[in-house]
Amino acid sequence: MVLEGLSNSLKGTLQKIAKALFVDDKLINELVKDIQRALLQSDVNVQLVLEITKRIKERALKEETPKTISKKEHLVNIVYEELVNFLGKGEHKSLLEEIKTKKPFKIMLVGLFGSGKTTTTGKLANYFKKRGIKTAVITTDTWRPAAYDQLEQTAKKINVAFFGNKQEKKPDKIYKQFEKELNEYDLVIIDTAGRDALSDELIEELQLLNKTVQPDQAFLVISADIGQTAQKQAQAFHDNCNVKGVIITKLDGTAKGGGSLIACAVTQAPVRFIGTGEKTDDLEEFKPEGFVGRILGMGDLEALLEKTKEAFTEQDTEEIKDKMLKGNFNLQDLYDQMQAMKKMGPLSKVLDLIPGMGQANIPKDLIKNQEVKIEKWKFLMDSMTAEEKETPEVITGKRIERISKGSGTSTSELRNLLKQYRQSKKLMKMMKPGSLEKDMQKMMQKMQGGKGFKF
């Protein structure tokens, strides 16, 4: 998996949103800190990290939630959009379409030693060949003795035409030698020699090749493990060697990939392809939307949001919170709350976590039978008037007999329910308004950590 570390941290963060009971300033602050930590660990430049998270925070705090989605979904969307925004500056049309407009279309790959130019030459050839483009590759690397053989072997394996001249020492002459033959192809990919650094010598060599080849597209190949320093490199190659796009390789093997991706995205040489392994198939056209969606695990997240929504709608939680704070908590609320909890895990465990319930010293066997009891409560409540449900205090004497008879249960069952209600209400009143939210958050986290969800 590409950028596994970053992906896991960001997924964890977004799952926190999904699991949180309320979207509030505290959650947003925590989210922003989490994202900062995750990006810094992926070697994203501090300044850029601050910029991204500042935008996320501002939008999360100020923007109104669109009517069609929940607050949580909105928050997740903001994170998604801002990350895409940072990776996606400078939109472009698909290279495949561009290639079809000119024959031969010439792509030149440049970069430092070991960045992955030769491997990527093979990968690109394979990529476009599979899309019906008649492709040839040519090596102009006269520096490394093995460069010729390496590309020749790759070309053979993927079955594309290969050109090169082991005896010739001048890269531009090699290209000239085969220029006529290369005109027969839709696409020509030119592999070049690297150096340890962008030296004057390399600049000179590439400028000469540029003049001779006149590539339609020059890509800088960068290894992801250089992290945020990719920005300097991309800028330097852009300024000196006419590079208009970047291919980041080895994203499969480094924790710093996020840094190199975001660094290049902010230069004038945006990332166009990524290399995700050593094999010729391990190449992807870089599309920020899909990429960020995958990193954030949007598919899984949507499922989680959906699941949480089923158990507790935002309106529900807000209403319950409101009622508790005002002390308006009634039997119907107690019942609704129990039903919602039931969807989230085994009831015996959940009961412990409902404010008041845990401390209410409910006998063990009572808890055991709670699921059955809840069903009976429903019958009991069906036999109550609206007034009785809203103000259970009026349920005394004759009413007790009437309700238990009407519901087909017993008077002790009803007394039990009322006792539980009184205990809950008493304990809820005792809780300070400020601590309530914290308690509920804690309770939800405990519950979900326990058994509720699988990711």
Contacting positions for ligand GDP (CB under 6 A) = 111, 113-119, 194, 221, 249-250, 252-253, 275-278, 282
Pick the closer one to ligand GDP by CB: 111 or 452: 111
Q: Residues interacting with Mg ion, by CB under 5 A?
A: 117-118, 147
Q: Which is nearer to Mg ion, 143 or 379 (CB)?
A: 143
| CB of residue 182 to ligand GDP, shortest distance in Å | 20
CB of residue 114 vs ligand GDP: minimum separation in angstroms? 4
Cβ closest to Mg ion, residue 108 vs residue 147 = 147
Tokens of 326: 């005002």
| Pick 120 or 424: Cβ nearer Mg ion | 120
Residue 278 interacts, among Mg ion, ligand GDP, none and using kind-specific CB cut-offs from 5 to 8 Å, with ligand GDP
* Single-letter residue type at 146: A
Would you say 27 or 109 has its CB closer to Mg ion?
A: 109
Which of Mg ion, ligand GDP, none is residue 111 near (CB under 5 to 8 Å by kind)?
ligand GDP
* Minimum CB distance to Mg ion, residue 154 (Å): 10
Smallest gap from Cβ 5 to ligand GDP, in A, equals 16
116 binds, options Mg ion, ligand GDP, none, Cβ within 5 to 8 A by partner type: ligand GDP
Q: How far is the CB of 251 from ligand GDP (least distance, A)?
A: 7
- Measured from the CB atom, the residue of 110 and 350 that comes closer to ligand GDP is 110
Q: What, of ligand GDP, Mg ion, none, does residue 450 touch, CB below 5 to 8 Å by kind? A: none
When the beta carbons of 49 and 224 are compared against ligand GDP, the nearer one is 224
CB of 228 to ligand GDP, least distance (A): 19
5 binds, among ligand GDP, Mg ion, none (CB under 5 to 8 A by kind): none
Q: Shortest gap between Cβ of 182 and Mg ion (angstroms)?
A: 19
User: Which does residue 356 bind out of ligand GDP, Mg ion, none, counting CB within 5 to 8 angstroms by kind?
Assistant: none
149 binds, among Mg ion, ligand GDP, none (CB under 5 to 8 A by kind): none
- Closest distance between ligand GDP and the C-beta of residue 26, in Å? 41
Residues 160, 7: Cα–Cα separation, whole Å: 36
Q: Nearest to Mg ion by Cβ — which residue? A: 118
Closest to Mg ion by CB, 143 vs 178, is 143
